[in-house]
Amino acid sequence: MTLVFNRGRDQEKRRILRRVMTREEWKLWWYLRRRDMWPVRFCRQYGVGPFVVDFYAPHIRLAIEIDGGQHALPQAVAYDEQRTEYLEAYDMIVLRFTNLQVQKEMRSVLGAIHDAATKIPSLSRRGRGGRPAP
């Protein structure tokens, strides 16, 4: 089996991305890193195959992406769809928010993340392949 998560050869790329996070990513990370608020632990700039997701909760396979204005361009939309399909192939749930949502609607963003994090069964309660056990 090939290594898919946090491959060593991409470690420096992830470090750089953590250092140059956008204002919106920092704002959301301020909330996500508070472990008393969440039933799971979140990581930032987490590698999944050839991609790096903004935030990831490995225990429940929840990926969170914060999209800037460039993601509205047609070629970016196609790329994001391809990324999402790749992540979903690993039984991940992908939540996408825009920078504007993080800036103006933080309560609803946090609510959506909390709802997803509490509704997804943890991997310890899942059967083979990450799906809920019978």
Burial letters for 102-120: b for 16+ Cβ neighbours within 10 Å, e otherwise? beeebeebbeebeebbeeb
Reported as a pLDDT band with limits 50, 70 and 90, residue 130 is very low
Q: Where are the domains of the chain?
A: 8-120
User: Beta 62-67 vs 93-98: how paired, if at all?
Assistant: parallel
58-82: per-residue pLDDT in tens?
999 999 999 886 666 677 788 889 9
- The whole-angstrom separation of Cα 39 and Cα 22 is 25
The pLDDT value recorded for residue 3 is: 57
126 strand-pairing partners: 132
Average predicted confidence (pLDDT) for the chain? 83
What pLDDT is attached to residue 88? Answer: 94
Confidence band (pLDDT; 50, 70, 90) for 123?
A: low
Average pLDDT value for residue range 13-36: 85
| Lowest-confidence region among 8-12, 55-59, 78-82, 128-132 | 128-132
Q: How does residue 108 score in pLDDT terms, banded at 50, 70 and 90?
A: very high
**Token duo for residue 16:** 């750089």
pLDDT of residue 124: 57
Please tell me the CATH superfamily of domain 8-120, with its number: VSR Endonuclease (3.40.960.10)
Strands, DSSP E only, in 42-111?
Answer: 43-48, 51-57, 62-67, 93-98
The DSSP element (H or E) to which 32 belongs, if any, is helix 23-32
